Structure 1
């Protein structure tokens, strides 16, 4: 049996606070989601002014990044490159940039998904949150 690290509540709070700080620094109104390795929602917050739909999209991006153990942008790029069959992949809905996995020693601990601004900015916010862990 192998042991693997997992996110604790204090980790999730640190990620969320750092992601929120990055968003507020740029005056970006977004929703921020953090999920565990199985894609289960651990945290969701919608900043003031964020579009209501962003609260649906952010968890979907995080879920996709966690299950795929790669950034959700990879799937968006595949689809844009012509592999439209990925649109029918079961269980994957957040096939847009902005979902970033949390990786430690080659293991996926979960992911952060952000929605509400340009997709590159969503990913920037997610990475800023993950950076708070120092891994």
Structure 2
């Protein structure tokens, strides 16, 4: 019983000492909030607007592959729009959330709507790794 109490006291002390202390090199942002976070490894996201059809068969034949964006654009497309032949733009599609094509394709294959990048104008928001974390070949 005494051993259990001693262990609990030690754990509580360790928790307070490890959680409550900040390195002296971290700037005080006020109210005891010390900002000591390295965000240099974050990538950037940009919008690519009104892009012409790519005529790249990889979009057309990608099926439900959720990584074809990395293969073709070296980044993660997080949302996109398609311009129909009538000139009307779709709403935003998010890969894996609301972007399955309802059209039945050859061989009853399923595909994502970004397959229309092949022959439609399109816009997208893409996030790419920074120079430190770039992919080989990109």
Using the size of structure 1 for normalisation, the TM-score is 0.25
TM-score normalised to the size of structure 2? Answer: 0.25
| Greater Rg by CA | 2
